[in-house]
């Protein structure tokens, strides 16, 4: 039986970290993720964990400290948002290239400029191809659960890649919800201890970490990273299966909400899925066959599985909470439509950019997307596939 609690998303992430009890947490504060290391430093101070908490001078240093700790053989974690992730940029790539299974809580926020501290996904989309596994969380429960599963995935011998758990800044990070925690002893057993095969402090195997990788080797090492990301798909499902046995909560690459018999559907990530489910329920009461695919695993991208899940639709909309500024649609839209193409499925698809800088996402706006899809399904006419909703005026 789990433990019923009421926690914000940030406190849920910090609580998961406390139960994991990593060897090292290095962090620098930035809104809206500041509370995660703040809570965790309290756990360190009151003796709830025996982790080493390193208060560094910048986010670049936070990831550098995690890299050093992980390379030495320790289990390391951190948290950040937006501009903090941008300052980590160099080290984000180094962490993945060195195959260090660091776990990062990314509380999604708009990347400056202009300065904005509110939620969108521009920070996560900026590092989507950096070699990190990326899990997205609809609510506080999922942020907690994804964090508990993170080390099992990242540290698997066939993976050994860093992993970030994403949740929406302020929308979930600062909102208090009912949550079911797993007992401490069960978490400890589930996560297990970290015993890396190669690490700097192993006196029986002297190694170098991060040497110059010239033309003769870098290509092969990048191919190995790509293979590890492919391997992660199998591991993610295996870990989710074990997690379901422990908690009864089921996770996969994505959640299909009333999708199997749907004629039109939305694809989205994080907290927007909750609002979309509300709209789907209302439309179903009106006899409209609406559905939702909520993506949980963004990297590795489940190409074949997504294409199969969406293949029967008459029309679909992919929602991006970040603009790629490329005149060709958002990152999620490009990935989904690519998945459909390579699997030889043709479903009329439109892209909506929304919620930039924390703009509210209302149920009536999402209902408007479904109405657009019904018209596309009826006429087959898409016109402009690159759209907005929630914009006060059309961009010129």
Q: For residue range 248-258, list pLDDT tens digits in order.
A: 999 999 999 99
Task: Quote the mean pLDDT of the chain.
Answer: 97
In this prediction, residue 124 has a pLDDT band, given cuts at 50, 70 and 90, of: very high
- Residue intervals in the chain for CATH 3.40.50.970: 3-247
- Residue intervals in the chain for CATH 3.40.50.920: 254-388
- Give the list of residues 6+ apart from residue 261 with CB closer than 8 angstroms, or none: 289, 291
Instruction: Give domain 254-388's CATH number out of 3.40.50.920, 3.30.365.10, 3.40.50.1110, 3.65.10.10.
Output: 3.40.50.920
Q: What is the mean pLDDT of residues 129-154?
A: 98
Alpha-carbon span 13 to 9, nearest angstrom: 6
Question: Is 396 a residue whose pLDDT tops 80?
Answer: no
Residue with tokens 């925690």: 181
Homologous superfamily of 3-247:
Thiamin diphosphate (ThDP)-binding fold, Pyr/PP domains (3.40.50.970)
In this prediction, residue 211 has a pLDDT band, given cuts at 50, 70 and 90, of: confident
Res 393: pLDDT: 78
Q: What is the mean pLDDT of residues 244-270?
A: 98
- Do residues 118 and 130 touch, judged by C-beta distance below 8 A? no
Where residue 78 falls (left for φ over 0; alpha for ψ -120 to 50; beta otherwise) is beta
| 243 sits in which H/E element | helix 218-247
According to DSSP H, which parts of 253-387 are helical? 272-285, 303-310, 331-342, 363-379
Question: Is 394 a residue whose pLDDT tops 90?
Answer: no
Q: 331 or 395: which carries more pLDDT confidence?
A: 331
């Amino acid at each position: 039986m789990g433990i019923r609690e009421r926690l914000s998303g940030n406190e849920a992430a910090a609580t998961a970290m406390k139960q994991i009890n990593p060897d090292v947490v290095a962090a620098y504060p930035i809104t809206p993720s500041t509370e995660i290391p703040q809570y965790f430093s309290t756990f360190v101070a009151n003796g709830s964990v025996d982790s080493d908490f390193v208060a560094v001078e910048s986010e670049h240093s936070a990831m550098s400290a995690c890299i050093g700790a992980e390379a030495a053989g320790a289990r390391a974690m951190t948290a950040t948002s937006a501009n903090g992730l941008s300052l980590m940029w160099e080290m984000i790539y180094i962490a993945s290239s060195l195959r260090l299974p660091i776990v990062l809580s990314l509380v999604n926020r708009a990347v400056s400029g202009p300065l904005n501290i509110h939620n969108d996904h521009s920070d996560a989309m900026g590092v989507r191809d950096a070699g990190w596994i990326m899990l997205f969380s609809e609510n506080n429960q999922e942020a907690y659960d994804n964090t508990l599963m993170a080390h099992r995935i990242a540290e698997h011998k066939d993976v050994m890649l860093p992993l970030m758990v994403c949740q929406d800044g302020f929308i979930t990070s600062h909102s208090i919800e009912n949550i079911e925690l797993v007992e401490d002893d069960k978490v400890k057993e589930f996560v297990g201890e970290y015993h890396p095969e190669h690490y700097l402090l192993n006196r029986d195997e002297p190694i170098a970490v991060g040497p110059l990788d010239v033309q003769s080797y870098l290509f092969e090492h990048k191919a190995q990273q790509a293979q590890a990301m492919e391997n992660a798909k199998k591991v993610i499902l295996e870990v989710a299966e074990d997690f379901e046995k422990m908690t009864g909560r089921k996770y996969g690459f994505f959640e299909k909400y009333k999708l199997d018999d749907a004629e039109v559907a939305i694809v989205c990530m994080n907290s927007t899925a909750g609002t979309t489910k509300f709209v789907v329920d209302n439309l179903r009461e009106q006899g409209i066959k609406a559905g939702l695919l909520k993506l949980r695993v963004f990297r590795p991208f489940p190409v074949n599985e997504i294409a199969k899940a969406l293949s029967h639709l008459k029309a679909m909309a992919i929602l991006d909470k970040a603009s790629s500024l490329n005149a060709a649609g958002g990152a999620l839209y490009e990935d989904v439509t690519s998945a459909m193409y390579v699997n030889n499925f043709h479903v009329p698809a439109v892209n909506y950019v929304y919620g930039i800088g924390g703009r509210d996402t209302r149920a009536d706006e999402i209902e408007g997307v479904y109405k657009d899809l019904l018209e596309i399904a009826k006429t087959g006419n898409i016109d402009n596939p690159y759209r907005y909703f929630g914009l006060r005026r059309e961009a010129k």
